[in-house]
Structure 1
């Protein structure tokens, strides 16, 4: 095959045609490097790790999501915000909304949770470890005891003055991992 390519290059050169060489290996390597940067490994921060012995139930990613902030005292405060997101991936789809709550769109199982720990992310909403405090229905979310919010991007409350009661929805992305004890 290599000798066939060399013959074509020689023929093209003899006729004055330009020859363009493409290295598939380099393209694959560069794409892989970009993919690694776009999807980093889960946070190694032990502060937001699930309890030892936990089993992963599902991992989903925000397909489309916002964090909504309400102006209080002339500023948009960082907390509390109200999430609204569609999550897709292993075990999904899920709807994430106020509560905070997560509901399976397949079987309607639902959990609510409270913040147990957080880890700041520059320019983004923090990564979190949440502890489930209520279950409704039976299904994929029934055994879930903890939820991690990882790989966050965007979703930060806007800076500057605002009118009390004004609301603003800020796009964000994240990965949610559901854990069972």
Structure 2
């Protein structure tokens, strides 16, 4: 009778290690999700002045929640030119955004802020840092659009930024090092306050204004890969 059950026992002993291995694989997959750019990324239509040039493909999208942070300064200043200074001679000036970007599954993928760009000898630029491998991309001079057909009233403009620099993470991570352009779209909130920066006594006042936006990251379209015309 013992010999009759031997093949079954052997089969059971074979199944258990396989089941254990599968459980480990599933657990690993759950804790290490697929990259956010695993599927096709399709940005919405945009104004013509912030379209991405042909030959670049959107590969990553992040939904941002955070604040646009302003400080009251005399105007004009190196950031706020005379042409946009109010009559009071004082204006709220952006000193950094502070936002977290998440994928569709609400998992954090990127943090967004201002930081010195090493490729430009420390020029302060908008930066996006991957939350896992800490690779970083810096945006260059932005082209802005407040086209009312696209941009909500009282929202910060939509933007197109060429890349001004990238940096691998400390362990060689390069999730963001192939980025060529960045778009900020679907904005809500974030505009500088219209009051509270009107006199010398207001200088130094800070305002942290909540905003949301979608950021789309582009890279060169791989050779032989169809350019879907995301721009």
Secondary structure of 2:142's counterpart equals: strand
Q: CA shift at 1:145, angstroms?
A: 0.8
Task: Specify the alignment match of 1:102 in structure 2.
Answer: 128
In the alignment, what sits opposite 1:68?
69
**Counterpart of 1:93 in 2: which secondary structure?**
strand
2:208 aligned with 1:169, yes or no? Answer: yes
Question: Distance in 2 between the 1:43 and 1:55 partners?
Answer: 14
Larger strand share, 1 or 2: 1
**1:115-143: CA deviations, max 9, x gaps?**
33111132110000001111110421011
Question: Take 2:103 and 2:130, find their aligned partners in 1: how far apart are those partners?
Answer: 12
- Which SS does the other structure have where 2:49 is aligned? helix
Contact 2:58 2:218 in 1 (8 A): yes
Structure 1 residues 4-83: aligned runs within 5 Å: 42-62=44-64, 64-73=65-74, 75-77=90-92, 79-83=93-97
Query: Which region of structure 1 is more displaced relative to structure 2, 108-117 or 41-50?
Result: 41-50
Alpha-carbon deviation of 1:45? 1.1
Report what 1:33 is aligned to: none
The answer for the alignment partner of 2:190 in structure 1 is: 155
Residues 115 and 131, structure 1, Cα contact 8 Å, conserved in 2: yes
Distance 2:131 2:51 in 1: 26
Contact kept, 8 Å, 2:67 with 2:98, in 1: the verdict is yes
User: 8 Å contact 2:127–2:139 — kept in the other structure?
Assistant: yes
1:180 maps to what in 2? 219
Q: 1:142 aligned to 177, 182, 188, which one?
A: 177
Query: How high is the TM-score relative to the length of structure 2?
Result: 0.56
Counterpart for residue 37 of structure 2 = none
Assess if the C-alpha contact under 8 Å between 1:115 and 1:128 holds in 2: no
The TM-score, its normalising length taken from structure 1, stands at 0.71
CA distance in 2 between counterparts of 1:81 and 1:156 reads 13
Note the residue ranges of structure 2 that are not aligned, 5 or more in a row: 1-42, 75-88, 115-124, 221-231
Q: How far apart in 2 are the matches of 1:129 and 1:110?
A: 17
Residue-by-residue CA offset, 1:63-86 (whole Å, 9 max, x unaligned)? x30000110137443x53410000
